[in-house]
C-alpha cells in the first residue's frame, strides 16, 4: 500500500495521502474532521511556527511548516469532497494574486523599496475592488497587537499616516495625559478607552520604525519569565518563601538576574 505513494513528487504525495486518509476506508479520526473542528490545530500550528522562528531553530521550523502545510491540504481536501475547490485551485488563486499585485516585477519592471511595494499592494486591493474597504481584509479575530499593527499598516498604505516617526511621540504623550486624567477620576470605562488609544499609538510607532510589536512584547515577556525564574531559584536555594522576602530583596535579585539570564 505504501509503495503507491513513494514515487510521487512531495506535494502530490501529500495530496494523495490526505485523500486516502479521508477515504471511506481511511482513518476514522481524519474522516470525522470539519473546517471548524480543525481550527484549534490550525491556530496551534501557526504559533508553533512562530515559536520556531523566534527560537531561531531552523530544523524545527522545517518540521513546523510541514505541520502547517498539512492543515492547508486538510481544509482543501474537505472542500474538494464538497465539490468546491481543491489544493490546485488554492495554488492557482494565489499564483494569480501574486502576479497581479506585483506589476513592478511581472509587468513594467520597477525597482521599488519594501514600503513602496507594501503601499502599492494595498492600493491595488482597493482599486481592483478585491476588498470593499481598505480595512475589510483584516481578520477581527487576530491578536489585538497584530490587529492594531495591520490596521495601521493598511491605512498607511493609502496615505493615512504620520509623516515621521518622531511625530508619534507627541501623540503618545497626548494619549498618556488623557489616560492619567481618567485614572485620577477613577473612571474605569474611560480608562480602558484611553489605555487602548495609548497602546494603539505605541503600536503605530513600532510599525513606523519597522519593529513588530507582538514580537517585541513576546521577547520582553520571555526575559521577564527567565529573570523571575532566577529569583525563584535563588529563593529555593536560600530555602525562603516569597512571603518571607521583601520587595527590596527581590529587586536586588532582579538586578542580579539581568547579568545572569
Q: Report the pLDDT value the prediction gives residue 1, as an integer from 0 to 100.
A: 62
Is 172 contained in some domain? Answer: no
Is 233 contained in some domain? Answer: yes
* Number of structural domains found in the chain: 2
- CA nearest 179: which of 165, 200, 158, 163? 200
Residue with C-alpha cell 490587529?
A: 147
How much helix, strand and coil, in percent to the nearest 5, is found in the chain? 75, 0, 25
Quote the CA–CA distance of 152 and 135 in Å, as a whole number. 9
Q: Report the pLDDT value the prediction gives residue 42, as an integer from 0 to 100.
A: 94
- CA nearest 175: which of 155, 199, 211, 152? 199
**Domain range spanning residue 221?**
215-257
Q: Pick from 94, 120, 153: which residue ends a domain?
A: 94
Q: State the 10-residue block means of pLDDT for the chain, 261 residues long.
A: 79 95 96 95 93 93 97 98 97 93 89 85 75 78 90 89 95 97 95 97 96 92 95 96 96 94 76
Q: Report the pLDDT value the prediction gives residue 141, as an integer from 0 to 100.
A: 83
Q: Pick from 69, 94, 119: which residue ends a domain?
A: 94
Q: Pick from 35, 62, 94: which residue ends a domain?
A: 94
Is 65 contained in some domain? Answer: yes
Is 200 contained in some domain? Answer: no
Domain containing 20 — which CATH number? 1.10.287.1080
Q: Report the pLDDT value the prediction gives residue 158, as an integer from 0 to 100.
A: 83
Which helix (H) or strand (E) segment is 228 a member of? Answer: helix 213-237
Amino acid at each position: 500500500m505504501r509503495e503507491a505513494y513513494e514515487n510521487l513528487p512531495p506535494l502530490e504525495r501529500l495530496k494523495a495521502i490526505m485523500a486516502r486518509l479521508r477515504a471511506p476506508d481511511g482513518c476514522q479520526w481524519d474522516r470525522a474532521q470539519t473546517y471548524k473542528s480543525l481550527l484549534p490545530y490550525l491556530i496551534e500550528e501557526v504559533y508553533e511556527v512562530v515559536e520556531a522562528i523566534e527560537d531561531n531553530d531552523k530544523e524545527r521550523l522545517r518540521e513546523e511548516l510541514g505541520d502547517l502545510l498539512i492543515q492547508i491540504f486538510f481544509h482543501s481536501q474537505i472542500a474538494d469532497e464538497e465539490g468546491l475547490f481543491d489544493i490546485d485551485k488554492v495554488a492557482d488563486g494565489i499564483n494569480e494574486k501574486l502576479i497581479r499585485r506585483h506589476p513592478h516585477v511581472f509587468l513594467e519592471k520597477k525597482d521599488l523599496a519594501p514600503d513602496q511595494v507594501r503601499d502599492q499592494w494595498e492600493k491595488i486591493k482597493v482599486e481592483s475592488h478585491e476588498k470593499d474597504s481598505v480595512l475589510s481584509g483584516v481578520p477581527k479575530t487576530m491578536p489585538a497587537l497584530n490587529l492594531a499593527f495591520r490596521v495601521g499598516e493598511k491605512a498607511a498604505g493609502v496615505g493615512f499616516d504620520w509623516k515621521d516617526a518622531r511625530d508619534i511621540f507627541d501623540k503618545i504623550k497626548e494619549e498618556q495625559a488623557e489616560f492619567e486624567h481618567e485614572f485620577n477620576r477613577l473612571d474605569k470605562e474611560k480608562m480602558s478607552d484611553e489605555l487602548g488609544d495609548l497602546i494603539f499609538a505605541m503600536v503605530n510607532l513600532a510599525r513606523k520604525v519597522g519593529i513588530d510589536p507582538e514580537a517585541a512584547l513576546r521577547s520582553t515577556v520571555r526575559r521577564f519569565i527567565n529573570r523571575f525564574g532566577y529569583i525563584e531559584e535563588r529563593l529555593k536555594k536560600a530555602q525562603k518563601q516569597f512571603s518571607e522576602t521583601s520587595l527590596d530583596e527581590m529587586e536586588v535579585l532582579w538586578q542580579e538576574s539581568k547579568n545572569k539570564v
